[in-house]
């Protein structure tokens, strides 16, 4: 998203992380666990697993059957990224399926990095090695990744620039981000994720170059890839 990502008010707000009210928290998950035996894994302790951000916790071990068609319909009709962002804020489990961590997954919509930057989403996954972060930038499904000459479009370049700015901010403000904002283990080594365009919009001549655009620090994916992940998880009956 191009507008509204940089805030104009100077200075940091010295407050702890305010858990999002738009993300379904443990109350909704508890209700689903009571009514749907599929999502009650053996020896699962919801209260313990959802720490340290219970209101941002996503229950990916659940019946996901409704999400592929819903997400596909939203993307097909969207003129820009805003309807998709709204849908994911209401259904954060969809985005959590891009994570592979199996000990916990959390989704933070529009998190503030100080008073300067507001990414679309931050994701955190926990495994046996600890917490791992992704910061997500949504672009329009109607934007191309590459030009007719096979070069990165202005939209893609802008999205990558934003990710670079977030890294610089975290490098300078790591203690503030971790201790004041409460983002445990978040640092400039996060994985940046840009979701942009549709698969059919990519000229097959540039397929190999497109793959080279993703690396250990940045992943670029189409909205079709996001749909694929949701479909796969729905078929398996659980998030990967």
pTM of the model: 0.81
**What is the number of alpha carbons within 13 Å of residue 106 lying toward its C-beta?**
24
Look at residue 40 and tell me if it is in a domain. Answer: yes
**Range of the structural domain that residue 58 is part of:** 26-236
Supply the Cα-derived Rg of the chain in whole angstroms.
18
pLDDT tens for each residue of 60-87: 767 899 999 999 999 999 999 999 999 9
3-state secondary structure of 191: strand
Distance of alpha carbon 74 from alpha carbon 79, whole angstroms: 10
Whether 147 is in a domain gets the answer yes
Provide the domain count of the chain.
1
pLDDT at site 43: 54
Identify the segments of the chain with pLDDT beneath 50: 2-26, 29, 32-42, 238-240
Q: Give 7-28 pLDDT, tens digit per residue.
A: 444 333 333 443 333 344 445 5
Predicted local confidence at residue 31, as pLDDT: 53
- Is the distance from CB of 119 to CB of 2 less than 8 angstroms? no
Inter-axis angle of helices 82-90 and 67-77, to 10 degrees? 160
The pLDDT assigned to 237 comes to 72
- Domain contains 100: yes
Q: Is 6 inside a domain boundary?
A: no
- Establish if 137 belongs to a structural domain: yes
Distances (CA, A) of 96 to 57, 91, 109, 122: 9, 10, 12, 10
Helix, strand or coil for residue 197? coil
d(CA 139, CA 223): 10
Q: What is the pLDDT of residue 27?
A: 52
What is the spatial distance between Cα 80 and Cα 84, in angstroms, rounded to a whole number?
Answer: 8
Q: Is residue 211 a part of any domain in this protein?
A: yes
CATH code, 51: 3.40.91
Is 122 within the bounds of a domain? Answer: yes
Which pLDDT does position 24 carry in this prediction? 45
Q: Is residue 18 part of a domain?
A: no
């Amino acid at each position: 998203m191009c507008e509204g990502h940089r805030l104009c008010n100077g200075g940091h707000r010295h407050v702890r992380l305010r858990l999002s009210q738009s993300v379904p928290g443990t109350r909704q998950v508890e209700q689903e666990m009571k009514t749907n035996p599929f999502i009650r894994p053996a020896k699962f302790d919801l209260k313990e697993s959802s720490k340290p951000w219970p209101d941002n916790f996503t229950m990916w071990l659940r019946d996901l059957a409704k999400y592929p068609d819903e997400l596909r319909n939203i993307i097909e009709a969207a003129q820009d990224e805003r309807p998709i962002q709204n849908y994911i804020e209401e259904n954060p489990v969809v985005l959590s399926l891009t994570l592979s961590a199996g000990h916990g997954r959390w989704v933070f919509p529009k998190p503030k990095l100080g008073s300067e930057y507001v990414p679309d989403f931050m994701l955190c996954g926990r495994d046996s090695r600890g917490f791992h972060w992704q910061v997500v930038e949504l672009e329009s499904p109607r934007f191309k990744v590459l030009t007719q000459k096979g070069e990165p479009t202005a939209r893609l370049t802008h999205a990558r620039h934003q990710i670079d700015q977030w890294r610089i901010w975290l490098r300078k403000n790591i203690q503030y981000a971790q201790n004041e904002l409460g983002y445990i283990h978040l640092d400039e080594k996060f994985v940046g994720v840009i979701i942009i365009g549709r698969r059919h919009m990519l000229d097959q001549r540039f397929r190999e170059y497109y793959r080279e655009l993703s690396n250990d620090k940045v992943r670029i994916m189409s909205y079709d890839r996001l749909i694929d992940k949701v479909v796969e998880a729905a078929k398996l009956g659980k998030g990967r």
